[in-house]
Structure 1
Amino acid sequence: MFKNVRFYRLGSPFGLAADELETALTAARFRPCGPIETATIGWSPPLGDSSTALVHAVSGCFLMCARKQERLLPAAAITEALEERVADLENAEARDVGRAERRRLREQVMSEMLPRAFTRSRRTLLYVDTQAGWLVVDAASDRQAEDVISLLRETIETLPARPPAPRREPPRVLTAWLLNGDAPPDVVIGDACELRDANDTASLIRCRGQDLASDEILAHLRAGKQVLKLAVNWDDRLDFVLAEDLSLKRLRITDALLADLDDGDLEPAARLDAELAILALQLRELIARLDALFGLVADGEVAATAADAKTPAPAPAPQDLEATPQAPRAGGETPPWED
């Protein structure tokens, strides 16, 4: 159902019931582009055009679908038509066309070409997990996700959703999993990764179908490169590529979890309910696991934590220092939080 996942923490409990959310989304239902509109966005049925409901509720999750339609008007075509219009005007009146007049001609060309332009639609699935307090979006990029979140925020008037801000830097953690071989027991490293030099962002290596424990890969890591993306299998339940911003790409539920859905007796709606229930449950548990591994914190919490860190703690009284001397650490061991 979802090929990509970007998740956002809700700052407060989601206060709408399914029927209330349905009413709010109906006011912003999708409509096609008008003759001179470049793009429109709105809500469409998540179960497809055969349904009319804009919200599908399963296991405490509200599934929705945002649809965006754009008119395809290539910049090269606009430029070519504009240059022809400018050339005809300059030849006819024996003068140069100024910058302001060129802008007006460009707008005129676009208004003439827009009604004839083809349109393209893109649907984006998302759901609100009211039990765990997460908003999950099937988006391959930040821009696509932000378009959908902005639409939902405008539709229901408030949506305190923030991306996770991990305490532990994902590139450092992912690099340690490969370099030191200390990935958690429930995480199996796959055969794809993306490496980047920490000091040279233009130095990028993409590997696919490779043994990531090979000497070649380890040599890049020892030379200073960090893991930006890593293909993993989590607990024999989900396969995905984990990115540095903790988004998931190429998400796939393992066959073992879907075995019960392949008997062919389920109606399409019942199968969809079952798939959504399985997906929501697995992602709910996966996000909790990522929280344990990386320490997921909302942006506001990070800012508050940073402010607290800058506030100096009161110095202990001299007698306290004498009463509780600091014992030396054996062998000069580095505390784990300073790794």
Structure 2
Amino acid sequence: MFKNARFFRMDQPFEFSDTELEEALGRRRFRPCGPIETATLGWTPSLAEETEALVWTVSGCHLVCARLQERLLPSSAVAEALDERVSELEAGEARDVGRSERRRLREQIINEMLPRAFTRSRRTQLSIDTESGWLVVDASSEKQAEDVMSLLRETLGSLPVRLPNPVRPVSRVLTHWLLEDRVPSDFVVGDACELRDPGEQASVVRCRRQDLTSDEILNHLRAGKQVTQLALEWDGRLSFTLAEDLSLRRLRVAETVLETLDDDDMDPVQRLEAEFVILALQVRQLIARLDEVFGLTPESLDAGTDSATWRDTPF
């Protein structure tokens, strides 16, 4: 169900029941763009449009879905229409069109073109895990995730959350794994990574279908580059690309985990609900493991261990 995952830690217990959450989201239900609106954002049914429920709750996790609709108005089309309008005015009235008048003409053209513009929609799913205290957003970019989080805050009135702030820097840990061949036993390194030079952000090496234990990769690491993205498989259950901001891309549940869904009697909604149950539980356990590896919450750190010695621990 989720192809990406961006994590947010809740500072307080989530106190909304599924009924209360349904009522709150219903007040910001999605509506299509009006004739002169460039975009609208609201809540839509989380599993299927055939159902009216905005919230699905299983195993302590609420699944909700935000829908963004945008009108597609290419800037090149606006610029072309503006140039034509300006040329007509200058030729017909024998005068130059100033900057402020061009701005007004541009706004007028946009208002004229918007009602005829095509629209496109994008759905973003969000899991609220009330047991673990983590929010998981299926967003490929930071902006997409923050837009949905802003909508959720506005909907609920308040929602204190924060991004993970790992004690052990992700890039340094991943670099240590490859350079010292000390990958924890429950992780398997894939065949893709991104390497960056901390001193020169423009210096980037991206690898796909590559043996990451080869001398070619290790030489980049020995020269000072750090791993900023790494393809991983965890415990034979989930595969993903982990980035230095702890976001996941190309998230997939292993086929062996999904074998329980091989039931022809399931209707589409039942299957989606079952998929969410599996995904939510697997991601909950993965976050707990990432917490152990990187130190995402204070309670995950051993009070008797100096965090500076993390390199000597295989996690």
Q: Normalising TM by the smaller chain, what interval?
A: over 0.9
Secondary structure class of the residue paired with 2:256 = helix
**1:138 aligns to what?**
138
**1:156 aligns to what?**
156
> Alignment RMSD, CA only?
1.4
Q: Shift of the alpha carbon at 1:75? A: 0.7
**1:118 aligns to what?**
118
TM-score, scaled to structure 2: 0.94
1:99-248 to structure 2, matched below 5 A, reads 99-248=99-248
For residues 93 and 2 of structure 1, the distance between their equivalents in structure 2, rounded to whole angstroms, comes to 58
**1:326 aligns to what?**
none
The one-letter amino acid of 1:218's match is: L
For residues 42 and 188 of structure 1, the distance between their equivalents in structure 2, rounded to whole angstroms, comes to 39
The one-letter amino acid of 1:35's match is: P
Secondary structure class of the residue paired with 2:97 = coil
Query: 2:125·2:138 contact (CA, 8 Å) conserved in 1?
Result: yes
- Consecutive unaligned residues in structure 1, runs of 5 or more: 302-334
**1:37 aligns to what?**
37
**2:255 aligns to what?**
255
Corresponding position: 1:336 with 2:312: no
Secondary structure class of the residue paired with 1:245 = coil
Query: 2:10·2:160 contact (CA, 8 Å) conserved in 1?
Result: yes
Moved over 6 A (4+): none
Q: Shift of the alpha carbon at 1:337? A: 5.3
Q: Shift of the alpha carbon at 1:94? A: 1.1
**1:64 aligns to what?**
64
**1:8 aligns to what?**
8
Identity %: 64
Change (3 A) 1:136 1:147: same
Q: Shift of the alpha carbon at 1:227? A: 0.6
> How many residues align structurally?
304
Deviations 1:177-235 (A, max 9, x none): 11111111111100000111111100111101110000111111111111110000001
Q: Shift of the alpha carbon at 1:146? A: 0.6
Deviations 1:289-339 (A, max 9, x none): 1111111149xx9xxxxxxxxxxxxxxxxxxxxxxxxxxxxxxxxx72588
For residues 46 and 33 of structure 2, the distance between their equivalents in structure 1, rounded to whole angstroms, comes to 20
TM-score, scaled to structure 1: 0.87
Query: 2:166·2:296 contact (CA, 8 Å) conserved in 1?
Result: yes
The one-letter amino acid of 1:273's match is: E
The one-letter amino acid of 1:115's match is: P
Query: 2:189·2:232 contact (CA, 8 Å) conserved in 1?
Result: yes
For residues 95 and 89 of structure 2, the distance between their equivalents in structure 1, rounded to whole angstroms, comes to 8
For residues 243 and 211 of structure 1, the distance between their equivalents in structure 2, rounded to whole angstroms, comes to 19
